[in-house]
Structure 1
Amino acid sequence: MGSAMNNNAHADSNNDFQQVYSVAKSKLGSPYIYGATGSNAFDCSGFTSYVYKNSLGIKLPRTAQAQYNASNKVSRNNLQKGDLVFIGGSTASIYHVGMYVGNGKMIDAQNRGVVSENINAPWWNVVGYGHVDTND
C-alpha cells in the first residue's frame, strides 16, 4: 500500500514541480533585498514563500528557520525537485533556504540576487532538506 501511494505522490509532485519551477525560473535575476517577499525583489525565505504561494497557493512560514521547522524532513538520498534546501550552522540556526531543482542545483535569493547555483558550495553548510506537502 505504501509504495502505491509513493508512486502517485511522485507523479503529482512532478506536476507540482513544473508549476513551482516555472515561477522560480521567471524570477531569476531579481535583486536581493533583506525582508523582501516579491514580486520584484526577494530575500531567501521571501523567495521560496513567493514561489510556492504563486504556483500552488501554498503558504510557507516567513523565515528560513520556520520553513525548516514546518517542512517534512527528507534525507539527501530522497531529495526531490521542489524540495527546500536549508543552510546554517545547525538545524537550530538556519539562515538560508533555496529550492532544489535537480542536478545538484537550487534556485535561491542571495546577495547576488535570484540565481541558480550548486547546493554544495564551499561557503555554506547544508543542514537539512524539507519537502513541502502539496496535498493540503
Structure 2
Amino acid sequence: MKKFILSLMGAAVLFTSTPVSTYASTSSLNSEVQEVLGTPYQWGGTTTAGFDCSGFILYIMEKFNSGDLPRTSASQAKAGTPVAKDDLREGDLVFFNTLGSGISHAGIYIGDGEFAHSSSSKGVRISKLTDSYYRDRYVTARRVVSETSYSKMAN
C-alpha cells in the first residue's frame, strides 16, 4: 500500500508540474536561449552574470553573427525593417512600452507566439505575446537578421 501511495504522489507531481515554456523547438535560437534562462536581470548587463533586455538581445544575436545592433531597446527598435505582428519569425525583435513613455523593453521572438527577454523582476525568461501585460504594451517588431543568420537560428 505504501508503494502505491508513493506512486500516486509521484504521478501527481509529474502531471501537475509545468515546463518553463511550452515551446518545444529544437532550433539553434531556442538552444541559445535555454542556455541562459534564469540569468538574473542587471541594469546595463550584457553578460551571463546578468542582462538587461537589450543586453540579452545583443548577447543572443552575437551568437549568430547578426551584425551590429545599437545598445538600447529604443535604438534597437529603429534598426532593421518593420515586421507586422502576424509575420513574425524566429529572431525578430519585439518591442514594448512598459513605462508609458515610448520603447522601454524588448525581446526576441522564438516562435509559437512566444518571445525570450530579460525581465527586470524575473531575469531571462520566455513569455507569450498574448499575455495581457505584453499584449497591451506591444509597440512594434523589427527584422534585424540576414537570411544567413536566420538560417543558422532556425536550424
The bucket for the TM-score relative to the shorter chain is 0.7 to 0.9
Once the two structures are TM-superposed, the CA of residue 71 in structure 1 deviates from its matched residue by 2.4
Partner of 2:91: 82
Partner of 1:120: 130
- Among 92, 105, 110, the alignment partner of 1:101 is 110
Shift in alpha-carbon separation, 1:53–1:66, aligned structure 2, 3 A: same
1-side partners of 2:140 and 2:107: how far apart?
11
- Deviation by residue 1:90-133 (Cα, 9 ceiling, x = unmatched): xx810000011111111100120100111232224100011113
Tell which structure's C-alpha radius of gyration is larger: 2
- Deviation by residue 1:54-111 (Cα, 9 ceiling, x = unmatched): 232532110001101112100012111111110016xx81000001111111110012
Structure 1 residues not aligned, in runs of 5+: 1-17
2-side partners of 1:75 and 1:23: how far apart?
25
Q: Please report the TM-score for the alignment, with normalisation by the length of structure 1.
A: 0.77
Partner of 1:6: none
Q: CA RMSD in A?
A: 2.3
Q: Please report the TM-score for the alignment, with normalisation by the length of structure 2.
A: 0.69
2-side partners of 1:123 and 1:30: how far apart?
21
Count of residue correspondences: 119
Structure 2 residues not aligned, in runs of 5+: 1-26, 149-155
Shift in alpha-carbon separation, 1:52–1:94, aligned structure 2, 3 A: same
* Identical-pair percentage: 32
